[in-house]
């Protein structure tokens, strides 16, 4: 019944569990305890991966200290077998024995794979379920397929939670997962998500489709599954605790998008202006895949990036004059009628920073490059009355753009002989590991250099310009301005430009500190989790009560009445 709906309704959480469970790994119990101690204040819901331990069974008494000392924590014991994607080399019987011991140790929940459940003796799983909350799980590390068939087999086995984790190879796989969750969450306690870079949609929006919680890593580098994001990202960037049926969904779509700074910038803007919206990085390998998701998720707006800025134009129902003029669109709005409307805010990104500094009417501007951004710059600046010159590595392309935008083409050999008010670099030269400049020192005869490259924050061209006392406009300004216009189009509110600029600047600084700007594919601009100094492992306290009441009973009671093992939220 629910599956037929296109929007995902928020569900009432019958279990008082937080939405984010943090996976904790370590080779020794002390590693897990140290990490858990540093996490527990912000993250009272954790999964201890016993299969990562060198000796899981011998570690349980040590882990008990942590459980006894932290009755506020809800902890899942997982000991995934190697044959099912984990690290535990033992048999299903040995796994069951370990999870039974984990239950006696004080873990409130244990995770058991479907494949293990299928080979246990009759009644063994029910016996385990009598002792502890059981999450029956299934992981597909390749695809998202036949979820219904799979679940028909899963629900034959008794469990408190049914966890289905697949791998997204398309964006639409997330829609399949969320429809699946929506279809069953009224009847069963479901947990579901898609792994992989393309699974981010289900990791964030799965909770409103019926997943009771989702999984995260403690820090970058400690992921226990592909595509896992940190708890801090889920909370701070994507505000997962607030995602509900009314949350509007936006995203940046392109190929690749993993290292886009748009999510951190736009989510900051939504939070600052208290817009109930979330913005995701959508790795669309085809435009068809992206369009298939637009209505089902549903997406309210999209930032379009390479390589789809031109291709998207043909599917728009209407667009602004600039999009039609330039033939490229970077901003899509999905109307109430489900139709797509296009805007080009790259123009505002180029024109805005210049207009803050000068009157463009009659200003002499050289654009280096004739690609997508150069097109936006040429048309936008001509519309403002500037005298625009274009030079390009491939003369034909530069001449064609000059003709179309009613600008003038300048041979590269003539650049050094000319003077300009502004030179705009619209080529990728200087980006990432490329420490080149698109122009030579003698060609920089200008008052301003506007380098549209924004990674790294300081390019070779910018350094050369500063050395000649030429005023520099960094590419960051374009990035923020085009995003600010998008925000305004989508939300109808003025964009918090200062905050947007601040977070991107910080992200660039972090990237520079990590050496990421030296790579073609820089590390994600999202902040690494600030890991507090781990507290020393707690000393045993004999007086603490074992508190081994069954989790599902406790979870149904308010924390106060349920005693030590109650789930707080
Ligand atoms: P594009 O469509 O691929 O166009 C690239 C242009 O640069 C082409 O004219 C190309 O010349 C020229 N070019 C490429 N490599 C060159 C080289 N080694 N030497 C000289 N010229 C070269 O790319 P785009 O979408 O216009 O983006 C261009 C750059 O703008 C990006 O790399 C990015 O750094 C920057 N950008 C910034 C923002 C922002 O918000 N700040 C937004 C988008 C893009 P040919 O015609 O000869 O191939």
Counting ligand 1 atoms within 8 A of each CB, the residue from 369, 400, 436 with the most, and so the one to mutate, is: 369
Which atom number of ligand 1 is nearest to the Cα of residue 430?
34
pLDDT at 520: 44
- How many Å apart are CA 21 and CA 4, to the nearest integer? 29
Instruction: List all residues 6 or more positions away from 41 whose beta carbon is below 8 Å from its beta carbon.
Output: none
Neighbours of 350 (CB within 10 A): 29
Which pairing describes strands 299-304 and 331-334: parallel, antiparallel, or unpaired? antiparallel
Neighbours of 411 (CB within 10 A): 11
- How many Å apart are CA 96 and CA 80, to the nearest integer? 11
- Ligand 1 neighbour 504 (Cβ under 6 A): no
- Ligand 1 neighbour 452 (Cβ under 6 A): yes
Which atom number of ligand 1 is nearest to the Cα of residue 475?
41
- Ligand 1 neighbour 482 (Cβ under 6 A): yes
- Ligand 1 neighbour 450 (Cβ under 6 A): no
Neighbours of 345 (CB within 10 A): 24
* Residuewise pLDDT in 10s, the chain (569 residues): 333 443 333 333 445 799 999 999 999 999 999 999 999 999 999 999 999 999 999 999 999 999 999 999 999 999 999 999 999 999 999 999 999 999 999 999 999 999 999 999 989 999 999 999 999 999 999 999 999 999 999 999 999 999 999 999 999 999 999 999 999 999 999 999 999 999 999 999 999 999 999 999 998 888 999 999 999 999 999 999 999 999 999 999 999 998 899 999 999 999 999 999 999 999 999 999 999 999 999 999 999 999 999 999 999 999 999 999 999 999 999 999 999 999 999 999 999 999 999 999 999 999 999 999 999 999 999 999 999 999 999 999 999 999 999 999 999 999 999 999 999 999 999 998 888 999 999 999 999 999 999 999 999 999 999 999 999 999 999 999 999 999 999 999 999 999 999 999 999 998 888 776 654 444 454 444 333 333 333 333 333 333 334 444 434 333 333 332 333 22
Which atom number of ligand 1 is nearest to the Cα of residue 477?
41
pLDDT at 156: 96
pLDDT at 551: 42
Three-state DSSP class for 102? Answer: helix
Which pairing describes strands 190-195 and 161-167: parallel, antiparallel, or unpaired? parallel
pLDDT at 433: 83
Which atom number of ligand 1 is nearest to the Cα of residue 394?
47
Structure tokens at 287: 């435009």
For residue 22, give the nearest of 224, 302, 218, 200 by alpha carbon: 218
Among protein residues, the one with the nearest Cα to ligand 1's atom 13 is 427
Among protein residues, the one with the nearest Cα to ligand 1's atom 2 is 371
**Residue 453 host element (H or E):** none
Q: How far is the CA of 371 from the centre of ligand 1 (A)?
A: 6
**To 5 degrees, how large is the angle CA 136–CA 53–CA 532?**
95
Which atom number of ligand 1 is nearest to the Cα of residue 397?
46
pLDDT at 517: 60
Structure tokens at 165: 């984790």
Burial class from Cβ neighbours inside 10 Å (0-12, 13-18, 19+) for residue 274 reads: exposed
Q: How far is the CA of 385 from the centre of ligand 1 (A)?
A: 24
Neighbours of 141 (CB within 10 A): 13
Burial class from Cβ neighbours inside 10 Å (0-12, 13-18, 19+) for residue 203 reads: buried
- How many Å apart are CA 182 and CA 184, to the nearest integer? 6
pLDDT at 518: 53
- Ligand 1 neighbour 368 (Cβ under 6 A): no
- Ligand 1 neighbour 555 (Cβ under 6 A): no
Q: How far is the CA of 486 from the centre of ligand 1 (A)?
A: 22
Q: How far is the CA of 462 from the centre of ligand 1 (A)?
A: 16
- Ligand 1 neighbour 261 (Cβ under 6 A): no
Is residue 474 within 8 Å of residue 462, measured between CB atoms? Answer: yes
- Ligand 1 neighbour 372 (Cβ under 6 A): yes
- Order of strands across the sheet that contains 74-78: 190-195, 161-167, 133-139, 109-113, 74-78, 45-49, 20-24, 214-217
Among protein residues, the one with the nearest Cα to ligand 1's atom 1 is 371
Counting ligand 1 atoms within 8 A of each CB, the residue from 306, 393, 460, 521 with the most, and so the one to mutate, is: 393
Structure tokens at 389: 């010159």
Sign of CA dihedral 195, 200, 204, 206: negative
Q: How far is the CA of 126 from the centre of ligand 1 (A)?
A: 62
- Ligand 1 neighbour 85 (Cβ under 6 A): no
Catalytic member of 64, 163, 309, 382: 309
Counting ligand 1 atoms within 8 A of each CB, the residue from 329, 373, 437, 507 with the most, and so the one to mutate, is: 373
Instruction: List all residues 6 or more positions away from 151 whose beta carbon is below 8 Å from its beta carbon.
Output: 162, 164, 180, 184
- Ligand 1 neighbour 408 (Cβ under 6 A): no
- Ligand 1 neighbour 398 (Cβ under 6 A): no
End-to-end CA distance of the chain: 30
**309 catalytic per annotation:** yes
Q: How far is the CA of 428 from the centre of ligand 1 (A)?
A: 4
In sequence order, what DSSP letters do the residues of 423-436 get, joined into one string? EEE-SSTTSTT---
The count of C-alpha atoms lying within 13 angstroms of the C-alpha of 568, restricted to the half-sphere facing its C-beta, is 12
Structure tokens at 162: 């049914």
Q: How far is the CA of 454 from the centre of ligand 1 (A)?
A: 12
- Ligand 1 neighbour 429 (Cβ under 6 A): yes
What is this structure's pTM? 0.86
- Ligand 1 neighbour 480 (Cβ under 6 A): no
pLDDT at 515: 74
pLDDT at 514: 79
**Residue 395 host element (H or E):** helix 395-404
């Amino acid at each position: 019944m629910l599956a037929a709906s296109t929007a995902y309704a928020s569900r009432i959480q019958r279990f008082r569990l937080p939405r984010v469970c943090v996976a904790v790994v370590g080779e020794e119990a002390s590693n897990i305890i140290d990490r858990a101690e540093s996490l527990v204040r912000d993250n009272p819901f954790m999964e201890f991966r016993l299969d990562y331990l060198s000796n899981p069974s011998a570690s349980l008494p040590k882990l008990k200290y942590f459980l006894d000392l932290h009755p506020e924590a809800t902890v899942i014991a997982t000991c995934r077998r190697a044959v099912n994607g984990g690290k535990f080399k033992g048999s299903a019987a040995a796994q069951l024995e370990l999870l039974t011991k984990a239950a006696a140790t004080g873990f409130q929940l244990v995770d058991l794979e479907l494949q293990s459940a299928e080979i246990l003796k009759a009644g063994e799983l029910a016996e385990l379920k009598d002792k502890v909350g059981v999450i029956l799980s299934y992981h597909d590390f390749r695809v998202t397929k036949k979820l219904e068939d799979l679940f028909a087999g899963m629900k034959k086995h008794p469990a408190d939670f049914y966890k289905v984790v697949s791998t997204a190879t398309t964006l639409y796989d997330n829609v399949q997962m969320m429809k699946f969750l929506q279809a069953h969450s009224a009847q069963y306690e479901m947990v579901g998500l898609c792994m992989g870079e393309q699974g981010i949609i289900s990791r964030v929006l799965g909770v409103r489709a019926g997943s009771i919680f989702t999984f995260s890593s403690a820090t970058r580098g400690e992921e226990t599954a592909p595509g896992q994001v940190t708890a801090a990202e889920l909370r701070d960037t994507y505000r997962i605790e607030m995602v509900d049926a009314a949350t509007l969904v936006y995203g940046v779509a392109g190929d690749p998008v993993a290292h886009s700074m748009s999510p951190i910038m736009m989510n900051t803007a939504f939070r600052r202006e208290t817009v109930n919206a979330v913005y995701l990085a959508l790795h669309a390998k085809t435009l068809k895949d992206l369009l298939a998701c637009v209505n089902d998720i549903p997406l309210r707006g999209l930032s379009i990036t390479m390589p789809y800025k031109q291709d998207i134009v043909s599917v728009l129902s209407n667009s602004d004059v600039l999009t039609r003029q330039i033939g490229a669109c970077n901003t899509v709005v999905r109307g109430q009628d489900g139709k797509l409307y296009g805007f080009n805010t790259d123009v505002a990104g180029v024109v805005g920073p210049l207009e803050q500094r000068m009157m463009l009417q009659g200003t002499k501007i050289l654009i280096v490059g004739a690609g997508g951004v150069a097109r936006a710059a040429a048309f936008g600046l001509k519309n403002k009355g500037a005298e625009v010159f274009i030079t390009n590595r491939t003369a034909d392309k530069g001449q064609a753009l000059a003709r179309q935008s009613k600008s003038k083409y300048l041979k590269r050999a003539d650049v050094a002989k000319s003077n300009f008010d502004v030179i705009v670099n619209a080529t990728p030269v200087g980006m990432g590991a490329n420490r080149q400049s698109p122009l030579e020192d003698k060609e920089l005869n200008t008052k301003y250099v506007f380098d549209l490259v924004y990674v790294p924050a300081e390019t070779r061209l910018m350094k050369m310009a500063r050395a000649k006392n030429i005023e520099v406009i960094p590419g960051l300004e374009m990035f923020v301005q085009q995003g600010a216009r998008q925000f305004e189009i989508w939300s109808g509110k003025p964009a918090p430009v200062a905050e947007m600029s601040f977070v991107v600047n910080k992200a660039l600084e972090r990237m520079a500190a990590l050496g990421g700007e030296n790579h073609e594919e820089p590390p994600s601009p999202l902040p690494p989790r600030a890991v507090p100094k781990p507290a020393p492992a707690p000393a045993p306290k004999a007086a603490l009560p074992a508190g081994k009441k069954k989790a599902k009973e406790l979870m149904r009671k308010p924390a106060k009445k349920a005693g030590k093992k109650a789930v707080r939220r």
